[in-house]
Structure formats: structure tokens, C-alpha cells
Amino acid sequence: MVTFFIVIKMSVIKISDKKLIDKLQARLILQLGRKITQQETIDLCIEYAIENFEDILLIASSTPQLTPKKAEKIIKKFEKYKGTTYDEEAKFLSSEDNDIYSL
């Protein structure tokens, strides 16, 4: 019997929070009762995303959510600077400022 292998050039993908993949992989291992690789885990996620494209599209296109922690930071900054004159030419260094003033 002859086995053929097709080698496809692999791309490197940067993952912003690898702990999430580790956590998912660990949960899969516990539920399946067998070892599952990170590659298999990612492959399953991609297959699921393709089968549930509308859900993925909805998640990807949703607007950023204002968390209580982020709201508290914004309120504190507002209180600190509420008497300051607004400069229309100002450049914002903080993403919170962009969320508020770049509407």
C-alpha cells in the first residue's frame, strides 16, 4: 500500500489570547476523554464557524460593548476634565476618548 501526502505551506497566525485556545482544548480533552491537539481544536472552530456563519458574522459586526469598568474609567476622566474647553483639533491618545468623541 502506498500513502501519498500533500504538503501545504503553513501560515503562521498570531493569536491575541492563547489562553483561550488552551482553555478550549482542555475542556475538549476532559469531555472527549482523549488528547486533542491545538491544531484539531482550531480546525473544529473553523468548521463550526463555516457552518454557523451568520452567528459569526453577527459577533464580528457587533459594536463594542461598554463594560462597567470602562464606563467607570470614562466617568472618572469626565469628572477630572469637565471644566476643560473642548479643542476640535485635538488628537485622542485614549481609545475611550475615541469612543466618546469620534461619533
Half-sphere exposure of residue 44, counting CA atoms within 13 Å on the CB side? 10
The reply to whether 12 falls in a domain is no
Indicate if 77 and 51 belong to the same structural domain: no
Residues 50 and 74 in one domain: no
My answer on whether 73 and 88 are in the same domain is yes
Residue 93 lies in a domain: yes
Provide the residue range defining the domain that includes 57: 18-61
Q: Note if the pTM is more than 0.75.
A: no
Distance CA 73, CA 71 (A): 5
pLDDT at 102: 60
Task: List the pLDDT tens digit at each of the 103 positions of the chain.
Answer: 555 555 556 677 788 888 999 999 999 999 999 999 998 999 999 999 999 999 998 888 876 777 888 889 888 888 888 777 777 777 777 777 766 666 5
Q: Does residue 15 contact residue 21 with C-beta atoms inside 8 Å?
A: yes
Q: Is 42 found in the same domain as 27?
A: yes
Q: Which three cell numbers stand for residue 5?
A: 501526502
Query: Considering the domain boundaries, does residue 2 fall inside one?
Result: no
State the total domains in the chain.
2
Residues 23 and 57 in one domain: yes
What is the end-to-end Cα distance of the chain in Å, rounded?
65
**Does some domain include residue 72?**
yes
Same domain for 22 and 57? yes
